[in-house]
Amino acid sequence: MFDLQKMTLRDMSECGLAIRSLSDKANSMEDVSRIIIEYLYNHIIDTKNSERTCVLVRFFKTHSYGELPLDLQEDARFILGNITVPDGLKCLTLLATAGEVAEWNSRHKSVEHKAIPLKSEEAIARIPMISQLIQQLGLNPGTVVQPDPNLITDLEQRMYNVFYVPDALGSPYIPSQRSFVVPFKVKSVVGFGGLLPSGNMFAVLMFLKVAIPRTTVDLLRPLALNVKMAILPFDSGRIFSTHSQYVTNENTKTTPQDETIGRLNSQIATLTQLLDVSEQSTKTQSDRLEKAITHLQKTLDKLQKTQIQLIHTDKMSSLGQLVAGIAHEINNPINFIHGNVYHALGYTQDLLKLVRLYQQYYPNPPQEIQEVIDSIELDFLTQDLNKIFNSMTIGTERIKEIVQSLRTFSRVEHAVEKKVDIHTAIDSTLMILEHRLQATDKYPKIKVIKEYGQLPLLDCYFGQLNQVFMNIIANAIDALQEGIGNKNDQSAIPTIHIRTQVLNDKWVIISIADNGPGINGEVCSKLFDPFFTTKPVGKGTGIGLSISHQIVVEKHGGELSCHSIPGQGAEFIIKIPLRRTQNTEHSWVSS
């Protein structure tokens, strides 16, 4: 089941895969279109009430008048005023329909849409919905009325747009407002379609009871290609279930072998389009992820400046919920992207295998094909694809690691004490700050040395200890970068040394030391005072270490101290008791 209001790339991929397989159960294009329409009607739901979202779903396809069964030819003649109709006149034919009213579940019971003659561009313009549908799908009405064989291949390979009416009520493109839109509460209309090798257009229209966001509409583009893959085997075969005539391309005389090659080429082109659309969707999703991460970083920066106020009003819990929620939202699409990279690689390899078979059986292609092979550097492209997919896999794995660190770092436990692994907290902080540890054009890479002892799980407030580690490690990075900027001797490797151990079975000791410029005695004595900072305006607020001291001392009954010799670095030592009595805790968070 799929909810169009909450549609994801994964949902769209699953829906498309299901649609592609539906042609296995069909004997004609009418059969497969009916199965597709029924699938969409029954599987698109509103998860809020588990009801169908579609009021009506319909499948249309253009046909030449001479290809139509006699009953549909009669319908077309009736609309035209019973005049003599040329066999080549294009008619927009209703192949399948499904909806809330019983009469909507049979194309034979349709009153006005069985076979709509598209006599001319002017005639199309007089039918606003059809005119808008053709234009939004990327076609020229003239191409539909009289397909140009020279343009069919090009249009077929680049047409997979979406028809979209965000507000059906009052729209000039949706007819029957009083008898259909209003009583059946139609909110929006979406459709998708394309062009077939025969030059005929197909389209699926869904009249919906919910408003569909633009982001979902963009995701529908691959469905047009999946529907095309399902109906493509019947484009030159049997169209109507009760009509034995097979379709032939009226523009060219072709042999069965030519038709087979043409269909295979169309399938290859369609699969390539699917890959292109999936890649575009992945880029769009990646852009959204980057914006979400950027927004998250800005939010964290802003919240750091107001931590004192947030702590005293218990808003740190809200911060954790915000970050965890964003991390969760990021995690779902990146898992989908990461998983589908392997499928995309498999599909690509299948396509390349097919190309190699073509090369094997047709070693001497026509000059035009050879020129394309040379222009795209097919051999290099084949070799480079694996490298590209490998890079994409590494990139998504990196995002997954960052998201996991965000979820760990922002775990919503500010007011709940739990047994946690201190090393996990430190590692999640290092992951988030890793971009600051890397080399830049101004600073060398900062080396991190970890000497972790055997620590038991510790009763503590995990999210708040993460704040302590973030503040201290971030300050160490600042100190190292400041020291590098002021030192003439650049030979020393900037290093942060992190040690953990259990002391006397009573304390967990966490030491975070750097080999930066160090801190003089006067500054060291004021480090934990609220709003005290040695950083320039705009770089420090003077609340990070003050909050860290409160978290360690007041919340955990521990100790936080700094030892430093100017010129030899600084060391912050955090002591957390293994066992604490209730009276060592303070209610400062909710005060």
Q: Could you tell me the two tokens for 339?
A: 């998983």
pLDDT recorded at residue 105: 93
Instruction: Write phi, then psi, for 116 (nearest 5 degrees).
Output: -95, 110
| Per-residue exposure over 159-189, b if at least 16 CB sit within 10 Å of its own CB, e if not | bbbbbbbeebeebebbeeeeebbeebebbbb
What percentage of the chain reaches a pLDDT higher than 90?
21
Inform me whether the pLDDT recorded for 32 exceeds 80: yes
Q: Could you tell me the two tokens for 588?
A: 């400062």
Assign a CATH topology to domain 418-579.
Heat Shock Protein 90 (3.30.565)
418-579 and 4-246 share a CATH fold = no
Distance in angstroms (rounded) separating the CA atoms of residues 289 and 331: 9
Q: Could you tell me the two tokens for 291?
A: 């914006």
C-beta separation of 204 from 40 below 8 A:
yes
pLDDT in tens, 386-436: 778 877 877 777 777 677 666 665 554 444 567 888 998 898 888 878 888
pLDDT in tens, 422-455: 998 898 888 878 888 888 888 899 999 999 999 9
pLDDT in tens, 218-237: 778 788 888 888 888 888 77
3-state secondary structure of 114: coil
C-beta separation of 90 from 201 below 8 A:
no
Lowest mean pLDDT segment, chosen from 12-21, 50-59, 371-380, 384-393: 384-393
Inform me whether the pLDDT recorded for 586 exceeds 60: no
Q: Which helix (H) or strand (E) holds 475?
A: helix 462-486
SS3 percent helix, strand, coil of the chain, rounded to 5, is 50, 15, 30
Contacts of 590 (CB under 8 A, 6+ apart): 314, 415
pLDDT in tens, 512-571: 999 988 888 778 777 777 666 666 555 555 567 877 888 888 888 899 999 988 888 899
Assign a CATH topology to domain 4-246.
Beta-Lactamase (3.30.450)
The domain spans of the chain are: 4-246, 285-409, 418-579
Contacts of 230 (CB under 8 A, 6+ apart): 19, 20, 21, 22, 23, 32, 36
Distance in angstroms (rounded) separating the CA atoms of residues 562 and 513: 9
